[in-house]
Amino acid sequence: MAATPRGVAAIVALILWLATAGPGYAGDDARVLASELRIALGDVERLAETDLPAPHRIGLAERLAGSLGLLPWLLQRAGDADGARALIKFQETSLEPSVETEPLATLLAELSSRHPLDLAGSKEPAVAATAMREARVIHQTYCAGCHDGAGNGDPELTLPARDLFLMGRSERPDIFVARLFNGIKGDETIGFRNPLTDEQLAALRAFYSDD
């Protein structure tokens, strides 16, 4: 599967993020890999949906092309050469509607189990009322404008914003929190890392799942 301009841009952006991460990044390194594996798995599972709009399928296939270009490198960095070699075999796979995606989903699920997502938000912690209030403020300030009422996304767009409450209730918790961790980046002052704490991620996951 040839990398598209969108896929190449995604690879370049994450490599720049990795390269500019400051001291203490080693702990985030494993989280980036674990999150990227779960996001790819979630995207492959969405591609298997029969009612997925054609533009969404195109956008997901392009994003997966970028992921499959980047993940082997991340796996190599993590010392998982076998996983990297196994995933490289799928780089030439065309993710068309007629192509069976189960083998790739099976491999991504296996790799996800080998690389646990060490984030409080991927578990089922007890979330304090104050943390839930903070999650509501974060949502209303930074997320609601693009995501509220979006449903599964504009069917005419390739990678549209989707309703976070719908995603929080329909996706596996670890895949959803991986999307939160991967999708919310900081700026150059924090090395393009997710600015949220584990506790804030946990509260957001609970907020979107239970509100």
Give pLDDT tens digits for 56-114.
Answer: 999 999 999 899 999 999 999 999 999 999 999 998 776 665 567 899 999 999 999 99
pLDDT of residue 108: 97
Last residue of a domain, one of 81, 114, 147: 114
Do 130 and 81 reside in the same domain of the chain?
Answer: no
**Residues 196 and 97 reside in one and the same domain:** no
12 and 31: one domain?
yes
- Of 2-16, 106-120, 188-202, the one with minimum mean pLDDT is 2-16
127 and 110 co-located in one domain: no
- Domain boundaries, position 159: 120-210
The per-residue pLDDT for range 142-153, each reduced to its tens digit, is 999 999 999 999
Residues 124 and 183 in one domain: yes
Instruction: With a cut of 60, say whether residue 120 has pLDDT above it.
Output: yes
The secondary structure of residue 51, as a DSSP letter, is: T
Long-range contacts of 42-49 (CB under 8 A, 24+ apart): 42/171, 42/172, 42/175, 42/178, 42/179, 43/67, 44/101, 44/104, 44/105, 44/108, 45/105, 47/95, 47/101, 48/101, 48/102, 48/105
129 and 69 fall within a common domain: no
Same domain, yes or no: 65 and 125: no
Considering the domain architecture, whether residues 134 and 163 belong to the same structural domain is answered as yes
How many structural domains comprise the chain?
2
Question: Residue 10: what pLDDT?
Answer: 47
